[in-house]
């Protein structure tokens, strides 16, 4: 960075449109020289117009702040002389640069001559695994002080600090990686390629040897990794601690602040006994039991003693990662064992290094493609797994990933020069010698439902988050046939006369007339797809105006698609099959003459083979939709609210898997432990046993939470709230918003409000935002405020006074302990919408089976969801809080008792608003 002058700029504006009348209201620039921030200039600017309310809310800048500030033209010459000639840096540089250029032009200043550097781009490349590249999130990630987000002075300083951090990391990358980054950066606008070239030249002169943590192969640097063998021992300390005293002694050996819990010890013993007796077990472990250690501790002792692997399955990739990075090290401390654990995923999660190497040398100037290549080069210097879930890819990056994902080998493995370094094989080898194999439900079920074996042989398993296991099983066998996806596939195929696979295959196989047949079939398929999706669109348009989902077949066992749609779909299927057969034939011809292909051509054939697998999957799925009669399955159309052709999808949902799970999974294992905090309905495991297809003689154990709910929580049920049913939405949300505002003032915010419908959430959000009595509160609404649930939770924690309104994804999975959350509001009991096609199909199936659909499906599902929502409030022993339930059916109906009986015993207060608010005040005092 010597002799370089970086001007790191941030602007606050009256809006996002530089081309319109929007103006700058704050300017700030940090001057960076020789790797240090040497100066900063900041000023408010008078836009000569009122600042819009949403900008005031975002930035905290008011009309009063800018009233006596200079006009831009008053300081334009100062800004021009300050920044001209340096390197212009900003977070999303095109926004700040465009605005500044416009204002300079209007002020009559000479055009600025500067090179541009974007810290968003740099962040994506240098830290490809961070969750978010927003400025505030990056500041949090790297522990940078950012006291006033969306204020130009604070934002500019943080951006400057981030830039220094990114460039510092660039300097640590190996020379071979920098060389490839420099070549790729030539296709990106701005100063980045020059920056990389300078670093490359310095490294070339220094010629430092490659660090031992890396290996360079064929010009690409990856991490050095070795398969770790599991160590087994028959020593006395490897015997499971059966008594509580021995368990306590084990806990006391560590520095970890582990508190002995009776419930946790019970769970450990139940897990161990179930495995020893070869019984399946359902264990409901209440919040605070410590269920992860409750199964991990017996699992490692059992694995070491029997010298066998134990499979641990959880619901999401995130939870997999938490188990591996947080709980395995704790287990290692506790036991002093050399624990070999591996996180294993499906093959398509891993990068194929041979394909990636060839794609690197392929010139594609598309911004997303260039950026993704650069991200992956940096990531390969850090990853030990090769699992793409570690990387935060853009939408275009995910499409590009399809070309390099691992799908096995079409040609001989010997043709793969990266075979020794293959990530998928490495993880498989590690799994073959591991004590604990951590997977997600999707992979576990895929291993059983597909012909390809993914996991080593195992006979004992733990299913954590077991209340999601049937959902995962249904998802494994459910699928979507979409217009957009088929268009993507067709574009990849291309034609012999335009870019795509067919054109490249024609070069490799000029004699193959099948390629001509494929091209004709592609043209016919495009027409057939238009006809098929047009029919779907017509059906949806003939339905009620606002409907974006429409059931076509409630259950394929005794119904089928109407004749016209069936024949249109069959025509599509036959053409897909025709293309599939022709591609297979051409590939087989290639297999016979592999010796004549270059490495690039071999890698291309592997890519075609991978495409062929995806194509066959679509063929099989459409075939099941048209002909399958064995499974209980529903078919329905989905689209966006505009019902655009591109959004049309035909979805097939399996609606019952209990028989499949019993015969294809549970009956093939010696013992499976299923655990969760929500497995019972009204203290009974019956619903979950039936749903999972488990025998009646299964071991069941319900371990209550150790928390003191009677002292630390209250349930408050308003008696003066309007009934949801029969009350106009506008009237109901007016009352609800006013009620929530009053509660927020008593709890200083710290309130999570759980909804079951988006429209009610949005209307309530708008009304609360317009309430002047809570103007200083930050109201966050899912689907309105930007960001994922995780991002919204972070924002909620960042403000002293905040209210978070969430729908279904907030009913479980988020963890806000302590004083950060002191009030939970459940607006409605979480029954699934009767308009939801999946729910309709479930209810119809049960009616056909002669069951009471409400008692056997709707109520248990709602109770389990309610238990998950209630569990958001008390996350730690010292937590205290109140739960408002606005749906009076919990108190006035017979079925309402099932909800209250399914949660810990909590004092219940039923009263009008004034009395409940007094109760809140007294509770927190």
Distance of CA 17 to the CA centre of its chain: 31
When computed from its CA atoms, the radius of gyration of the chain, rounded to whole angstroms, is 30
For residue 346, say whether it is annotated as part of any ligand binding site. Answer: no
Residue 534 CA to residue 570 CA, distance in Å, equals: 15
Please, are residues 174 and 221 in contact by the beta-carbon 8 Å criterion?
yes
The CA–CA distances, whole Å, from 906 to 263, 751, 915 equal 20, 19, 18
User: Is 569 known to sit in a ligand binding site?
Assistant: no
- Strand 751-754 to strand 823-826: parallel, antiparallel, or no bridges (unpaired)? parallel
Decide: residue 116, CB within 10 A, 0-12 exposed, 13-18 middle, 19+ buried.
middle
Beta bridge partners of residue 387, listed in sequence order: 350
Q: Which residues contact 738 (CB under 8 A, 6 or more apart)?
A: 767, 771
372 near 401, Cβ under 8 Å? yes
Gap between the Cα atoms of 448 and 442, Å rounded:
10
Alpha helices in 543-597 (DSSP H): 563-592
> Kind and range of the H or E element at 671?
strand 671-676
Under a CB-based contact definition with an 8 Å cutoff, are residues 263 and 704 in contact?
Answer: yes
At residue 280, what are phi and psi to the nearest 5 degrees?
-80, 150
CA distances 96 to 105, 119, 272, 505, 786, Å, are 14, 12, 61, 46, 21
Residue in the structure block whose two tokens are 């287990």: 331
**How far is the C-alpha of 404 from the C-alpha of 351, rounded, in Å?**
6
Q: Is 500 marked within a binding site?
A: no
291 is in an annotated binding site: yes
Note whether 350 and 427 are within 8 A (CB).
yes
Q: At what angle do helices 262-276 and 291-306 cross, to 10 degrees?
A: 30
Query: Any binding-site annotation on 289?
Result: yes
Exposed e or buried b for every residue in 539-566, given b needs 16+ CB within 10 A? ebeeeeeeeebbbbbbbbeeeebeeebe
Dist CA 778 CA 799 (whole Å): 7
Q: d(Cα 551, Cα 100) in Å, to the nearest integer? A: 53
Residues 103, 106, 109: CA angle, nearest 5 degrees: 85
Does residue 461 contact residue 469 with C-beta atoms inside 8 Å?
A: no
What span, in angstroms and rounded, lies between the C-alpha atoms of 159 and 194? 20
Beta-carbon contacts of residue 278 (< 8 Å; ≥ 6 apart): 670, 671
- Both structure tokens of 803: 């209210």
How far apart, in whole angstroms, are the C-alpha atoms of residue 304 and residue 383?
Answer: 28
For 748-854, where are the alpha helices, taking DSSP H only?
Answer: 758-769, 789-798, 837-848, 853
214 burial type by CB count under 10 A (0-12 exposed, 13-18 middle, 19+ buried): middle
Is 335 annotated as contributing to ligand binding? no
Distance CA 769, CA 737 (A): 9
Asked whether residue 287 is marked as a ligand-binding residue, the answer is yes
Contact 471, 653 (CB under 8 A): no
Q: Is 395 annotated as a binding residue?
A: no
Q: Which of 664, 292, 296, 691 is nearest to 468 (CA)?
A: 691
Strand runs labelled E in 296-440: 310-314, 341-343, 436-440
- Alpha carbon distance 109, 645 (integer Å): 49
C-alpha 238/C-alpha 518 separation (Å) is 62
Q: Which residues are annotated as a binding site for ATP?
A: 285-292
Q: Which residues are annotated as a binding site?
A: 285-292
């Amino acid at each position: 960075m010597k002799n370089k002058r970086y001007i790191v700029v941030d602007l606050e504006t009256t809006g996002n449109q530089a081309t319109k009348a929007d103006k700058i209201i704050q300017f700030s620039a940090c001057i960076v020289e020789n790797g240090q921030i040497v100066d900063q200039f900041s000023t408010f600017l008078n836009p000569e117009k009122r600042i819009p309310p949403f900008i005031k809310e975002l930035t905290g800048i008011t009309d009063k702040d800018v009233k006596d500030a200079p006009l831009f033209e008053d300081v334009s010459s100062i800004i021009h002389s300050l920044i001209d000639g340096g390197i212009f840096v900003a977070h999303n540089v095109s926004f700040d640069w465009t605005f500044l250029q416009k204002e300079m032009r209007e002020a009559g200043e000479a055009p600025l001559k500067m090179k541009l550097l974007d810290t968003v781009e740099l962040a994506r490349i240098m830290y490809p695994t961070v969750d978010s590249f927003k400025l505030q999130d990056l500041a949090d990630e790297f522990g940078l002080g950012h006291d006033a987000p969306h204020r130009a002075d604070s934002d500019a300083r943080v951006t400057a600090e981030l830039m220094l951090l990114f460039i510092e990391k660039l300097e640590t990358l190996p020379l071979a990686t920098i060389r490839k980054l420099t070549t790729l950066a030539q296709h990106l606008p701005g100063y980045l390629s020059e920056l990389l070239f300078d670093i490359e030249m310095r490294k070339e002169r220094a010629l430092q040897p490659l660090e031992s943590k890396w290996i360079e192969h064929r010009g690409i640097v990856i991490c050095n990794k070795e398969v770790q063998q599991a160590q087994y021992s028959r020593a006395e300390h490897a015997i499971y601690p059966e008594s509580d005293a021995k368990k306590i002694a084990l806990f006391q050996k560590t520095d970890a602040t582990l508190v002995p819990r009776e419930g946790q010890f019970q769970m450990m013993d139940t897990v161990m006994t179930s495995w020893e007796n070869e019984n399946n077990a359902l264990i409901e472990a209440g919040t605070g039991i410590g269920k992860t250690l409750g199964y991990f501790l017996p699992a490692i002792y059992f694995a070491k003693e029997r010298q066998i692997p134990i499979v641990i399955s959880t619901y999401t990739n995130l939870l997999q990662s938490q188990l591996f990075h947080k709980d395995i090290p704790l287990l290692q401390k506790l036991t002093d064992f050399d624990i070999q654990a591996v996180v294993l995923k499906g093959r398509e999660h891993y990068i194929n290094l041979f394909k990636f190497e060839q794609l690197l040398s392929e010139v594609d100037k598309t911004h997303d493609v260039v950026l993704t290549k650069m991200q992956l080069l940096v990531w390969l210097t850090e990853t030990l797994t090769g699992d793409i879930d570690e990387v935060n890819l853009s939408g275009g990056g995910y499409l590009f990933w399809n070309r390099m994902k691992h799908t096995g080998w079409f040609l001989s493995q010997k043709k793969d020069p990266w075979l020794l370094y293959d990530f998928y094989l490495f993880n498989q080898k590690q799994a073959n010698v591991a004590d604990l194999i951590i997977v997600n439900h999707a992979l576990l079920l895929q291993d059983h439902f597909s012909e390809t074996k993914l996991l080593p042989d195992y006979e004992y398993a733990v299913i954590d988050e077991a209340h999601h296991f049937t959902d995962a099983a249904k998802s494994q066998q459910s699928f979507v046939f979409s217009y957009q996806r088929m268009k993507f596939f067709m574009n990849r195929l291309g034609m012999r006369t335009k870019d795509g696979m067919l054109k490249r295959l024609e070069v490799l196989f000029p004699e193959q007339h099948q390629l001509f047949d494929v091209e004709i079939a592609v043209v016919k398929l495009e027409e057939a797809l238009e006809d098929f999706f047009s029919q779907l669109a017509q059906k949806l348009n003939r339905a009620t105006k606002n409907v974006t989902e429409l059931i076509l077949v409630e259950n394929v066992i005794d119904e089928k698609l109407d004749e016209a749609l069936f024949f249109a779909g069959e025509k599509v299927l036959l053409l897909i099959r025709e293309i599939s057969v022709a591609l297979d034939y051409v590939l087989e011809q290639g297999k016979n003459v592999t010796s004549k292909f270059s490495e690039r051509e071999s890698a291309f054939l592997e890519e075609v083979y991978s495409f062929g697998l995806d194509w066959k999957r679509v063929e099989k799925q459409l075939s099941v939709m048209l002909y399958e009669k064995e499974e209980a399955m529903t078919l329905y159309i989905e689209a966006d609210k505009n019902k655009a052709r591109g959004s049309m999808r035909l979805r097939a949902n399996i609606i019952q898997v209990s028989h499949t799970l019993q015969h294809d999974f549970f009956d093939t294992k010696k013992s499976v432990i299923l655990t969760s905090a929500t497995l019972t309905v009204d203290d009974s495991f019956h619903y979950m046993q039936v749903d999972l297809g488990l025998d009646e003689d299964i071991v069941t154990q319900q371990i209550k939470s150790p928390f003191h709910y009677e002292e630390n929580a209250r349930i408050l049920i308003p008696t003066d709230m309007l009934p949801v049913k029969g009350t106009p939405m506008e009237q109901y949300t007016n009352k609800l918003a006013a009620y929530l505002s009053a509660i927020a003032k008593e709890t200083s915010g710290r309130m999570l409000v759980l909804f079951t419908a988006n429209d009610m959430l949005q209307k309530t959000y708008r009304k609360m935002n317009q309430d002047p009595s809570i103007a200083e509160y930050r109201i966050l609404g899912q689907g309105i405020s930007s960001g994922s649930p995780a991002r919204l939770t972070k924002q909620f924690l960042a403000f002293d006074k905040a209210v978070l309104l969430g729908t279904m994804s907030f009913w479980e999975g988020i963890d806000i302990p302590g004083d950060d959350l002191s009030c939970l509001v459940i607006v409605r009991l979480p029954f699934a919408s009767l308009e939801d096609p999946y729910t309709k199909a479930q209810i119809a199936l049960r009616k056909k089976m002669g069951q009471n659909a409400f008692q056997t499906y709707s109520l248990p599902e709602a109770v389990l969801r309610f238990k998950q929502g209630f569990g958001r409030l008390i996350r730690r022993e010292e937590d205290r809080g109140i739960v408002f339930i606005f749906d009076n059916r919990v108190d006035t109906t017979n079925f309402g008792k099932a909800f209250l009986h399914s949660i810990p015993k909590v004092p219940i207060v039923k009263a009008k608003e004034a009395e409940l608010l007094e109760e809140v005040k007294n509770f927190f005092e």
